[in-house]
Amino acid sequence: MSEFHQSPPALPNQYLDDGLLRSYLACAAPPHVLHAIEPELTALGERAAGEWLALAERAEADPPRLIRYDAWGRRIDRIETSDAWRAFERIASTEGLVARGYERAYGAFSRVDQFARLYLFAPSSATYSCPLAMTDGAARCLELLGTGGRLRAALGHLTTRDPAQVWTAGQWMTERTGGSDISGTSTVATRDGDRFLLFGTKWFTSATTSQMALTLARPEGAEAGSRGLSLFYLELRDDAGLPNHMRVLRLKDKLGTRALPTAEIELDGTPAWLVGGEGHGVRKIATVLTITRIYNALAAVSGMRRAVALARDYARRRTAFGRPLGEHALHADTLAAMQVELAGCLLLVFRVVELLGLTELGVATGADARVLRLLTPVAKLYTGKRAVAIASEAIEAFGGAGYIEDTGLPRLLRDAQVLPIWEGTTNVLSLDVWRALAAEPDGLGALGAELNARLDRVTSGDLSDAAARVRTAARGLTDAALRLAACSNDDRESVARRFAFGIAQVTAGALLVDHAHRCRAMPIGARLADAARRWASRDLVPSLETGAAYRAASRRLGLDAD
Ligand code: MFK
């Protein structure tokens, strides 16, 4: 009988081992800031590979439960979470994973510092990054719009580092009628003095153990459709700790994110306060969506990084056909493609984070603000899709072991699959790109100018071909946008996803070529240059064919019975 056992993959310090992240920070961070944060990031990288990973496994193994009644028959609707899940709440607050974005200790760079920490935390957190995303989004919304003692006090709870005081927030938009199209929102707000009472059902409420939520409802008498909606603040529990005129109908049985409590909730006179006055609720909650979409993109790249790290480690351990997997040219090629994808996506996401920091500090140029608006949906939609593909590839790199639950590997794929769905699906966000360009027609011009300036810096000969390819693709994209602007809405819609992918790939390409050039003297420089050349050699802009005949063919292909 064989006593042979495969050796499982191991994770080293997740900061020290991450040359890509470190090279990015070395370029992006002011030297004194890098000096200050590196020891802390190193400590977080250690915890991400050890303590947090163990907590995440425990949280996944002990998912939330809904306790409807207490022993005496009183309806309590308490969601019980594991000790491990609650430990993440303490860790997140003491590490200031949200607070740092509001303390702004490093000025406009504070968001990059915060998101670098989140990058290490997220893939070892059993999706605790989700409540943090909504907490951060709500904090920003209240910071901008939250007047009055109650809302200012809530902001204090969301941004504190004190675990005894800290709150998390939910963001409740989705109802039975839909999550993308929220015009059918049927939650009604009835005025009750200086507050409102909410009546309705919310179909997806993630992180339902939060203390507060921001939600949409229609004040009585307000117009139909999304324009009649207002944004409200509510607290989930009353002073006695009981549900605040609401019922938890059930917990969702989800494909992944299993440690994260997601529930259906019925509001039955829940006290709520207007945020930013009556009306324009969608425009107001868009502040939350911008933040949560950036978190989503961050979760996607950090998940990709984890998948790549595991697959790479295994490729050194696992022997097949007489050699370690990594010694096989085809496997090395597959891992290389994953790393290239990760590199482009990481730089894309952190560029968005940089722009967020500049905007919040009030030091962004008009062009920066336009690029942030444009790249937020682009980064979210592109990285969400790529995260699923990379997780799938990583699992395949483990062969059958990747398909077996107790290796923990299937979770990579399950948890990635939510990323293109929540916070706006790929198609909804592709259309949001056109919404952004309709509001700011010069958004693409501003992006193009930034990318060209980056490419102009590239003077090293071994990257000049790559720079030229990206520049040509960027020009093609701008020309296409002009052509599409003159097309019908239907034509623009049919091409929207391909157009958004083009923006993502061209932007990431320019960032990667620029970054490789800046890092050329570092030990990682040659690897980055290889990654940049491979990225640039793709078809950066997919076919943008459209038109009435094309759309008719799409309908026939997509919908007609064979
Ligand atoms: C680890 C990762 C963590 C993630 C945690 C997630 C957990 C939470 C789970 C969820 O909550 S998932 C549900 C998230 N839901 C969505 O993302 C909604 C998806 N649907 C859309 O985004 C639709 O496009 C939208 C609801 C916005 C369509 O609504 P409308 O009312 O038909 O859009 P309209 O009329 O174009 O826009 C209304 C206003 O909002 C306009 O402003 P004005 O009133 O000034 O004209 C728009 O400009 C503005 N707006 C819309 N989208 C915007 C925006 N402003 C800025 N940024 C945007 N993205």
421 CA closest ligand 1 atom index: 12
The Å distance, Cα 164 to ligand 1 centre, comes to 33
pLDDT of residue 315: 97
Average pLDDT over residues 226-232: 95
Task: Name the residue of 216, 290, 434, 435 to mutate for ligand 1: max ligand atoms within 8 A of Cβ.
Answer: 435
Largest CA distance in the chain: 78
The Å distance, Cα 198 to ligand 1 centre, comes to 21
Task: Name the residue of 114, 128, 204, 283 to mutate for ligand 1: max ligand atoms within 8 A of Cβ.
Answer: 283
pLDDT of residue 509: 98
Residue 461 has pLDDT above 90, yes or no: no
Separation of alpha carbons 200 and 209, rounded Å: 19
Confidence of residue 280 (pLDDT cuts 50, 70, 90): very high
User: In Å, how far are 77, 119, 172, 234 from 187, measured between CA atoms?
Assistant: 20, 36, 11, 13
**What are 515-531's pLDDT values in tens digits?**
999 999 999 999 999 99
Residue 9 has pLDDT above 80, yes or no: yes
pLDDT of residue 119: 98
User: Domain ends where: 228, 247, 281?
Assistant: 281
User: Domain ends where: 281, 300, 332?
Assistant: 281
Q: Whose CA is nearest to atom 4 of ligand 1?
A: 130
Separation of alpha carbons 179 and 59, rounded Å: 27
299 CA closest ligand 1 atom index: 1
Q: Whose CA is nearest to atom 27 of ligand 1?
A: 282
Residue 56 has pLDDT above 70, yes or no: yes
Confidence of residue 562 (pLDDT cuts 50, 70, 90): confident
Separation of alpha carbons 22 and 38, rounded Å: 9
Determine, yes or no, domain membership for 420. Answer: no
**What are 363-374's pLDDT values in tens digits?**
999 999 999 999
The Å distance, Cα 405 to ligand 1 centre, comes to 36
Instruction: Say what percent of the chain tops pLDDT 90.
Output: 94
Task: Name the residue of 171, 289, 426 to mutate for ligand 1: max ligand atoms within 8 A of Cβ.
Answer: 289
Average pLDDT over residues 206-217: 94
Determine, yes or no, domain membership for 450. Answer: yes
What is the distance in angstroms between the CA of the first residue and the CA of the last residue of the chain?
A: 53
Number of structural domains (the chain) is 2
The Å distance, Cα 227 to ligand 1 centre, comes to 12
Residue 242: give its domain's CATH number.
2.40.110.20
DSSP 141-198: HHHHH--SHHHHHHHHHHT---TTT---EEEE--BTTBSS--TT---EEEEETTEEEE
Distance of CA 62 to the CA centre of its chain: 25
Q: Whose CA is nearest to atom 52 of ligand 1?
A: 286
373 CA closest ligand 1 atom index: 57
Average pLDDT over residues 220-225: 94
pLDDT of residue 300: 98
Residue 207 has pLDDT above 90, yes or no: no
Q: Give the list of residues 6+ apart from residue 496 with CB closer than 8 angstroms, or none.
A: 427, 430, 431, 433, 434
Separation of alpha carbons 29 and 525, rounded Å: 18
User: Domain ends where: 230, 247, 281?
Assistant: 281
Determine, yes or no, domain membership for 539. Answer: yes
229 CA closest ligand 1 atom index: 31
pLDDT of residue 459: 85
Residue 84 has pLDDT above 80, yes or no: yes
Separation of alpha carbons 301 and 345, rounded Å: 6
Separation of alpha carbons 124 and 60, rounded Å: 11
pLDDT of residue 3: 86
Determine, yes or no, domain membership for 497. Answer: yes
The Å distance, Cα 286 to ligand 1 centre, comes to 5
Amino acid at 428: V
Average pLDDT, the chain: 96
The Å distance, Cα 430 to ligand 1 centre, comes to 12
User: What tokens were used for 159?
Assistant: 């941004």
Instruction: List the Cα angle 122/124/129 in 5-degree steps.
Output: 30
The Å distance, Cα 173 to ligand 1 centre, comes to 9
Determine, yes or no, domain membership for 394. Answer: no
Say which DSSP state 73 is in.
S
Determine, yes or no, domain membership for 8. Answer: no
pLDDT of residue 5: 86
Determine the 3-state secondary structure of 67 from DSSP: strand
Distance of CA 437 to the CA centre of its chain: 21
127 CA closest ligand 1 atom index: 1
Q: Write out residues with Cβ below 6 Å of ligand 1.
A: 129-130, 133-134, 171, 173-174, 179-180, 182-183, 206, 226, 280, 282-283, 286, 289-290, 292, 295-296, 299, 422-424, 428, 432, 435, 439
Separation of alpha carbons 78 and 66, rounded Å: 6
Domain range for 181: 169-281
The Å distance, Cα 422 to ligand 1 centre, comes to 12
439 CA closest ligand 1 atom index: 48
Contact criterion met (CB below 8 Å) for 346 and 311? no
The Å distance, Cα 289 to ligand 1 centre, comes to 6
Determine, yes or no, domain membership for 319. Answer: no
Determine, yes or no, domain membership for 451. Answer: yes
User: In Å, how far are 168, 188, 240, 341, 418 from 383, measured between CA atoms?
Assistant: 25, 36, 43, 9, 12
* Residue positions counted in the chain: 562
Number of other residues whose CB lies within 10 A of the CB of residue 372: 25
Amino acid at 152: R
pLDDT of residue 1: 66
Q: Compare 7 and 130 and report the one with higher pLDDT.
A: 130
